[in-house]
Amino acid sequence: MNNAPVDTAPPTKPLTRFIRPGEACWTLAAYLAQGGYRGLEKALGQSQEQLLEQITASKLRGRGGAGFPTGLKWSFMPRGASAPSPKYLIVNADEMEPGAFKDRYLLEQTPHQIIEGLLIAAQTLDADTGYIFLRGDYYLAQQRLTTALAEWQAHCLENPALGPLNAKFKIHIHTSAGRYICGEETALINAMEGKRANPRAKPPFPQVAGLWGKPTIVNNVETYCNLPHIINFGVDWYLSLGLGQDSGTKIFGVSGRVKRPGLWELPMGTPIRELIEVHAGGMCDGYSLKGYLPGGGSTDFLTQAHLDTPMDYDAVGRQGSRLGTGTLIVLDDSYCPVAMVLNLIRFFAQESCGWCTPCRDGLPWAEVLLNKLESGLGEAKDLDQLEALCRFAAPGTTFCALAPGAVEPLQSALKYFRADFEAHITQGCCPYNHSAAGEQHYG
């Protein structure tokens, strides 16, 4: 399938190994030249049981935010001659999490890696159809994915060995209308069916009854991109990449007032301090680190006291936050944490599907109270109400994870930056002068 001479040494940065700055690395020719589709070639010579065993043994966890073990998730899908059909695979490429932009990088720069991962998953699970559920305003990603799919189809015509897989498994791009709630897999499935994007009651889980009532697997872009390398270079190699208990590498990111905001592929377990101070270049001159959201806009704040925490699921969890998307949002000492939280709560309130009371009514009321504080009209009882709202929207009290995630930055800001909240009340105004820096004041 691929006779090009390539470097066969196992890479230390598999997810970005195909990306060459200044080159058209998103084309089939470039992908094949760097060893692309070698993982699929190996997968076609193995049984479904062998492939699933490798994915499970690799300890790959979902890279979309929840971190659920991929092999375990796949094991719930019915298999064998008596299994319902058709079976569907969905790539969640919606990426609506505030502060997250890692999937966009992979979608634009290496679309064939996503296609190869999807094909390996199809071979493992005997799936019939794949959908790439793409964020609507990722125009360049859509263009390159469309071209990559056409290149793949032409490549299959030239390679008879790919004929059976290409004939059975069809891949389609589904452009999202744009709602944050579609990060919840059953809401995404409802949207694909042409329904309102509300989450479904579970069970049944999508692995058993998902898209149009058939077995369905939904995984994130970055999760699928790991599959070709696990199959190509082996489980032991993949396990060796992580610095702690979590295996493999991850696309980490940092945004905010740092010298070099951006994305980097690093081992799972890379310390937060290294991300901010080394890869992101540290804080911009004249600014100090006040706090940061370690996994996007729906995670709890951490502070300087947590800088040596490894960026893996369990370690960040022990500090009271979540790894989430692995894209840090940095808060510097010049910006108001109340205004930052208000901006996030406003977003989440707008994006609520309105299905359950804590989300539909609780988040808009939190926005009202935060606006009151920012306007200099806050009272001490408002802080009590905000804390009560956080408990009201805690995990287990809502239909899905949107509201619990939405209040994570609020509850942690009240914990770590309470003096800032109280200063809004005692001074009768926001103590931070954003307008002096030429920035929008979110009050």
Instruction: Give pLDDT tens digits for 173-228.
Output: 999 888 899 999 999 999 999 999 999 999 999 999 999 999 999 999 999 999 99
Backbone region of residue 164 per phi and psi (left: phi > 0; alpha: psi in -120 to 50; beta: other values): alpha
For the entire predicted model, the pTM comes to 0.92
pLDDT in tens, 24-56: 999 999 999 999 999 999 999 999 999 999 999
- 246 touches 59 (CB < 8 A): yes
- 58 touches 248 (CB < 8 A): yes
Residue intervals in the chain for CATH 1.20.1440.230: 337-437
CB atoms near residue 208 (< 10 Å): 16
- Which band of pLDDT confidence, cut at 50, 70 and 90, is reported for residue 6? low
Which residue's structure tokens are 């409802």?
190
* Confidence check: pLDDT of 163 > 90: no
The CATH number of the domain covering residues in 249-332? 3.10.20.600
Rounded to whole angstroms, the Cα distance separating 391 from 407 reads: 9
| Beta-sheet pairing, 129-134 with 88-93 | parallel
Residue intervals in the chain for CATH 3.10.20.600: 249-332
Residue intervals in the chain for CATH 3.40.50.11540: 14-241
Rounded to whole angstroms, the Cα distance separating 248 from 425 reads: 47
Q: Write down the pLDDT at residue 439.
A: 44
* Confidence check: pLDDT of 247 > 50: yes
- Which band of pLDDT confidence, cut at 50, 70 and 90, is reported for residue 80? confident
Q: Which two tokens stand for residue 189?
A: 């499935």
Task: Give, for 93, the enclosing helix (H) or strand (E).
Answer: strand 88-93
State in words which class domain 14-241 has.
alpha beta
pLDDT in tens, 339-389: 999 999 999 999 999 889 999 999 999 999 999 999 999 999 999 999 999
Indicate the DSSP class of residue 205: P
Q: What is the CA radius of gyration of the chain?
A: 23
Q: Residue 399 to residues 335, 384, 418: CA-CA distances in angstroms?
A: 33, 24, 29
Rounded to whole angstroms, the Cα distance separating 69 from 55 reads: 9
- 414 touches 383 (CB < 8 A): yes
Which CATH fold topology does 337-437 show? de novo design (two linked rop proteins) (1.20.1440)
The mean pLDDT value for 399-426 works out to 96
